[in-house]
Structure 1
Amino acid sequence: MADQDSVNPAGLNPEQIREAIVSGDPARALPALVGLRRLEAEQAVPLLLLGLEQEQFIARSISCAGLGVKRNEAGWQALTTALSADEDANVRAEAANALASYGVERAWPLLRQSFVADDQWLVRCSILSALAEQAEIEPGVLLELAQMAIADTDGSVRVGGTEILGRIVRDAGANSEQTEISEAARQGLIGLQQDPDHRVVAAVLNGLQG
């Protein structure tokens, strides 16, 4: 028989977990939210949705992260709302990361829209890293994402886009479509050689040498 800690986070029953989440005390709420990863989605998601309603941004961020692990339709809808409407960039960034875990095919249109509309560097960097980690992402999608990123005014976002261009060049396949995409990525790298941010230039050199 499983012990209580393996069933509920911190050995709390559902009502105690709920009370901890809404307590307003980070010392109680945050461990309870983190511990929800031990539960099945049908148990965890309603409590994570409750966490998204809390005033503390860290509670909402942790709830978004949890909804990326415990995935269902209610979680997707809540993350979509958080991505577009939460006032804190940390929460929106975590929502973007969580949405990517639902798969590129479903998440890409939404994350693309967010990348264009949300000019916070943290959100854009989160979208870059979350999508770049998806093994099934198409090179054409990566190229479009990178091209949006290198046009950004923020150096950190441009670094992320430059690194993706380098990846495309390194990973180019033999078919003509991928060769075309790879050449577009290479030209993008060449165009960034005089970027004012030394981090971007370093990423360009790595990409072209790769």
Structure 2
Amino acid sequence: MNQHSLEQIAAQLNSSNVSDRILAMIELQKETMPAQDAYPLIKQAIYDENVQVRGMAAFSLGVKQTPENRAILVNVLEADPDYNVRAMAAGALGYLEDQQALAPLTHAFYEDTSWLVQFSAAVALGNLKNVQAQAVLLEALNSKNPLLQEAAIMALGEIGAISVIDRLLQYVNADDWMLRKRLAEALGNLPVPQSQAALNDLQQDSNPLVVEAAVRSQQKLAKLL
């Protein structure tokens, strides 16, 4: 990235026009933008007065990875006044796959009052693939919010939580087809006979998207078992 282009993006980011700042963030998120060039400008944008700009900046810190990103994202997760931005920060921490994010993500799940932040934190915990997240994910599974249950099922599959397979199989006949679909996807990461049996049942599901997910996971399991 040449200096002239960076200066143009910096000028957009300092504009009083929100649209200009959003366009600057789009440029910073492009694959052709090196992380080391983008980082100083993203760091500036994370404190922008506009929620959309801050959210884009938080997302960008998960994609444009540098050693400094985790600390900034944790601060955003804990302190930003807008739940959308905090949710973006939680998701970005998952992208980093930094195991030091386990504690702040767990704290966010238990303490944040927004279900969206809790959802993002649960998904991010799955991205860490750390079995220490199992306890908090089981809490999410017990939630009355089906979206949090979805996140928990996905994440428990990601961390390979075979020890709680019986808890997951309770969703084979869930009324919500999305829960059944998430279960079908998760079982592809749990190579035990119970997963195969459940996937056989899910391939007979009334929803074609559940069936499709079950077929893919069955094929995946065939290579693992």
**Both proteins in one fold, TM over 0.5:** yes
Aligned-partner Cα distance in 1 for 2:179–2:8: 52
- Residues 1:12 and 1:148: Cα distance change in structure 2 (over 3 Å): farther
Q: Structure 1 unaligned runs (5+)? A: 1-6, 172-180
Q: Is the 8 A contact 2:154 2:183 kept in 1?
A: no
Deviation at 1:159, TM superposition (A): 2.3
Q: Structure 2 unaligned runs (5+)? A: 188-194, 200-225
State the Cα deviation string for residues 42-93 of structure 1 (Å, max 9, x = none): 3211110111111111100111111112222433222111101111111111
Deviation at 1:28, TM superposition (A): 1.2
Q: Is the 8 A contact 2:146 2:179 kept in 1?
A: no
**% identical equivalent positions:** 24
User: Does 2:162 correspond to 1:182?
Assistant: yes
TM-score normalised by length of structure 2: 0.68
Aligned-partner Cα distance in 2 for 1:40–1:142: 32
Aligned-partner Cα distance in 2 for 1:200–1:155: 9
The answer to which of 35-44 and 62-71 deviates more is 35-44
The answer to which of 70-79 and 92-101 deviates more is 70-79
Out of 71, 86, 93, which is 2:65 matched to?
71
Deviation at 1:193, TM superposition (A): 7.6
- The correspondence of residues 78-93 of structure 1 with structure 2, limited to 5 A, is 78-93=72-87
User: Does 2:176 correspond to 1:198?
Assistant: yes
Out of 115, 128, 137, which is 1:146 matched to?
137
Deviation at 1:127, TM superposition (A): 2.2
Aligned length: 186
- Aligned residue for 1:176? none
User: Does 2:152 correspond to 1:158?
Assistant: no
Deviation at 1:168, TM superposition (A): 7.1
Q: Is the 8 A contact 2:58 2:85 kept in 1?
A: yes
- Residues 1:19 and 1:143: Cα distance change in structure 2 (over 3 Å): same
Aligned-partner Cα distance in 2 for 1:201–1:73: 36
- Aligned residue for 2:23? 31
Aligned-partner Cα distance in 2 for 1:100–1:205: 20
> RMSD over aligned Cα, in angstroms?
3.0
SS in 2 for 1:13: helix
- Aligned residue for 1:52? 46
Q: Is the 8 A contact 1:84 1:92 kept in 2?
A: yes
- Residues 1:39 and 1:182: Cα distance change in structure 2 (over 3 Å): closer
